[in-house]
Structure 1
């Protein structure tokens, strides 16, 4: 029997596919020696100088509200970093510091999406975008990417989905779950397309610091005519291993930021004050520890690509982030049963493409967020699992 509250839940609350994630976590809780290669949470700890800055803020009685848009020194440091790293030209009054990029996503949709608006989203995708669009009365429209292109965006695939109801396009590069980096020449074509069809762009660049050799990130808002129609999203979770601190930000024209200040205040008043002090230390302090983690990610990526190929599995070569989107169709299994059986039989946890907007998927997302020896052990288990199942099928 359903509860009265569930019966009266507003139709804007759409059930997403969280049940399989819960099922996997329940299975894992009953197993020993699980190797988790599913979540997008870095295995490195937050650098010590960032933690010390938070402790100092606590000792300095920084226990109270900040302004809704964030600490002024942090907003300025974000501007300085965006300019130095990506050539983006923002002022402090064009920044809102949020409780992770998750809150920035929701704030953008609240500010821009009206009933019936269509929002194009790079796919496979981080389905938080779908939820936020649904909550605001909009319609998510996936823009597919393909393994043959290493999952980089194709402008033709975007344009064929533009209608008179299209409000915006969400461009995530590097992408989750594929690690795809859309090349600069394609980014320029996307800018031309946005101007031609007068659509807005959310440029989610949370993984932009994690780019591998041979690939280049281009921030859309640096291109002519694009700053006024682009919201740039970024944050601290992935680059600085600060997932639990919950600090992200959005960068957009000042008048739009001013308009969103009160809605942002309504959502959570301000990002945790202590976390903001930590984020300031992240941007202004030494970067050498994070550069070392990027080198570790690159070594893990290189190993996994070789090991997956040796196991007879194909993939889109990731140009950034810390995921490898792997095609398991050669095993004769779909992604959900593959992931569930792999976990039960070997203790290795990976996530199916079904959790990233691809029902009945042939793909799994592997996060290389474990030390290399642990990843090597996981691959030995995966190889054994594939071999055993092929024998069983034969």
Structure 2
């Protein structure tokens, strides 16, 4: 073990592995903390990949992606979000995970500070730290429905601040930072000369009339914003590993060589599938959103009955649940809930949240399984809850 490089952190590995191993020993576990849609990829997308394979489209593409797909992505961003990019200002990645690493490799020097919302998806932390950067957490709060508060961002800016990562809707909270706050954040970025990475992977998943505003559309923001998105969540394509970045060409050019080094190009048949996702019918996306919305109602109602509070999620497919009513810290609650009720949820510590009162639940089980999970928690209350 002394031979292993020290640059790779393993902060959450022990606890995460422990939960997974515990779940593997039990039968009929309901996994309520998933981030992988249970719904199938729409048929026309899968068919496009099959046809590409049949045509022999199984070789390298340009590291930045197929020209047709890059143009389709530029068109999609304009159509759906009002963003103005050319095909040359896009780059196709092997999922947004690779996009995160590319961004940090291209932009973060040792000692640079990167502002990240908390709670958050912690792949950002790993990428920043691998590049020698420093993570600076910007807290969000249940009272604000976990939306970013501009004043909390500005209070943490120093001369070493290089970048702000704006994630809306957010994982794990489902928070949508409202347009007025986005406008304030844009002014802060311009005032302090900060790059903004706008992670919009959940931007099509909005509830109750919530509005998503892409910060790159605002005056003076196009040249300092990198927009990141993909098809994994909107089109149930997690396993296809296809995402994209859009930014002014100097940013994109800076990422091409690291992108070539990491994986040469995104999987070629997956690029053809993504082309079908971008240019084909969007009915399935709307149908998925309706399904998630219905499940959301069931889960929120069940949490109310349990006495658990939450910052009502306006987007994505997660509910960040305050389990303080159980009388247990979240880490202990998750272990006991799995053992006594065979329901698997994830504590906030896995999402860079120092407040050990929250767990992530998701809408990625059929309604009857969500109802069953709530029923199991109620039945196990006397064995799990401390109060």
Which of 328, 335, 354 lines up with 1:333 in the alignment? 328
Q: Which residue of 1 aligns with 2:24?
A: 29
Runs of 4+ in 1 over 6 A off after TM superposition: none
Q: Which residue of 2 aligns with 1:321?
A: 316
1:382 CA displacement: 1.4
1:24 CA displacement: 1.2
* Cα RMSD for the two superposed structures: 1.1
Which of 288, 292, 295 lines up with 2:287 in the alignment? 292
Which of 122, 143, 153 lines up with 2:138 in the alignment? 143
1:360 CA displacement: 5.4
The secondary structure found in structure 1 opposite 2:245 is strand
1:104 CA displacement: 0.5
Decide whether the 8 Å contact of 1:194 with 1:200 is kept in 2.
yes
1:134 CA displacement: 0.3
Q: Which residue of 1 aligns with 2:176?
A: 181
User: Residue 89 in 1 paired to residue 116 in 2?
Assistant: no
Q: Which runs of no fewer than 5 residues in structure 1 stay unpaired?
A: 1-5
Decide whether the 8 Å contact of 1:207 with 1:320 is kept in 2.
yes
TM-score of the two chains, using structure 1 as the length reference: 0.96
The secondary structure found in structure 1 opposite 2:380 is helix
1:21 CA displacement: 1.6
Q: Which residue of 1 aligns with 2:50?
A: 55
The secondary structure found in structure 2 opposite 1:7 is coil
User: Residue 364 in 1 paired to residue 359 in 2?
Assistant: yes
With 297-306 and 226-235 compared, the bigger mean Cα shift is at 297-306
User: Residue 346 in 1 paired to residue 341 in 2?
Assistant: yes
Q: Which residue of 1 aligns with 2:125?
A: 130
Decide whether the 8 Å contact of 1:16 with 1:131 is kept in 2.
no
How many residues get paired?
387
1:199 CA displacement: 0.6
Q: Which residue of 1 aligns with 2:198?
A: 203
Q: Which residue of 2 aligns with 1:377?
A: 372
1:288 CA displacement: 1.1
The secondary structure found in structure 2 opposite 1:234 is strand
1:387 CA displacement: 4.1
User: Residue 248 in 1 paired to residue 230 in 2?
Assistant: no
TM-score of the two chains, using structure 2 as the length reference: 0.98
**1:104-137 deviations in Å (ceiling 9; x for gaps):** 1000000110111110001100000000000000
Decide whether the 8 Å contact of 1:62 with 1:274 is kept in 2.
yes
**1:240-279 deviations in Å (ceiling 9; x for gaps):** 1000000000001012212221111111100000000001
User: Residue 160 in 1 paired to residue 160 in 2?
Assistant: no
Q: Which residue of 1 aligns with 2:262?
A: 267
Mapped partners of 2:25, 2:209: distance in 1: 42
**1:131-170 deviations in Å (ceiling 9; x for gaps):** 0000000011110000000000101110110001111111
The secondary structure found in structure 1 opposite 2:359 is strand
**1:333-391 deviations in Å (ceiling 9; x for gaps):** 0111111111111111110001000245100000110110110000111122234434x
